[in-house]
Structure 1
Amino acid sequence: MPIRREHRFFYPIDWPQLSAVIRFGRARGACESCGRPHGRTVIHLGDGRWWDDVAAAWRDGRGRRVRLAPGTVDVLGIARRTRVVLAAAHRDHDTANNAAANLAAFCQRCHMIHDRPEHQRRRWRTLFRRKALGDLFRGPYG
């Protein structure tokens, strides 16, 4: 995933090489959480279950094989396609901690799930800041 211009100075200068080592060296081009392969288009059901072409099996959001009972899921009606892109993520959300144990190779879905609490915290802080600025310059909200 691209790094925003205003956040680039938080990352080390060799971040692209470090990220490549984690994503393709250690993780061998697959998500370390669910096992989705980098650069391939996968068919998924939107709830974490996805079709693994290599194993010819459905997998859940953690990469374990699952069986779909015939008729329980309208696979053709809800199946979607997604191109998988791996990104290196900081497990503790600290961009200064670049130890190998703190970095993980995640697909888009797993990365968003991992970062959800941090995104919620930032969203709350942004909304709180906007309200505070509104109170300061335009009076209290109604």
Structure 2
Amino acid sequence: MPIRPEHCFFYPIDWPQLSIAIRFGRARGCCEGCGRPHGRMVYHLGDGRWWDADVGRWRDGWGRRIRIAAGIDILGQARRTRVILAAAHRDHDTSNNTDANLAAFCQRCHMIHDRLEHQRRRWRTLFRRKALGDLFGGPYA
């Protein structure tokens, strides 16, 4: 995920090289949360279950092998997504760039990891819109 211009000063100068070392050196191009491979199109069911073409099996949201019941219409539910890895800070502190604090996550795992921060930002945005609406002529439309 690209770094916002206002946040680029929180990251070290060598962040692109550090990110590449984590994503492709240590993680070997796979998500450390669920095991999805970087750059590939992956079939998934939307709830975390995905098809691992290398092994020929379904996996759950944490990368564990699972079995799908025979009665489920998999082809009707399956969607495709291109997996992109990103380096994430486990403790959300951008100044702590130790190997133990950095992780290579796919989009899904990164969103789950940052869920509380996204909820906080959403609340703040809605609160500000409502306040501006109240200030300038009634509720925000």
Normalization by structure 2: what TM-score? 0.91
Matched, 1:26 2:14: no
Q: Distance in 2 between matches of 1:88 and 1:63?
A: 18
In the alignment, structure 1 residue 94 sits paired with structure 2 residue 85: no
Alignment-derived partner of residue 107 in structure 1: 106
Partner SS, residue 82 of structure 1: strand
Q: Secondary structure at the match of 2:88?
A: strand
Alpha-carbon deviations, 1:4-51, whole Å to 9, x = none? 222111111100000011101111110000000001111111110001
Residue range with higher mean Cα deviation, 76-85 or 121-130: 121-130
Where structure 1 has 5 or more consecutive residues not aligned to the other structure, the ranges are none
Q: Which residue of 2 aligns with 1:129?
A: 128
**Pairing 1:1-142 to 2, within 5 Å after superposition:** 1-71=1-71, 73-135=72-134, 137-138=135-136
Give structure 2 stretches of 5+ with no counterpart.
none
* Aligned sequence identity (%): 79
**DSSP-derived class of the 1:104 partner:** strand
User: How many equivalent pairs are there?
Assistant: 140
One-letter identity of the residue aligned with 1:38: H
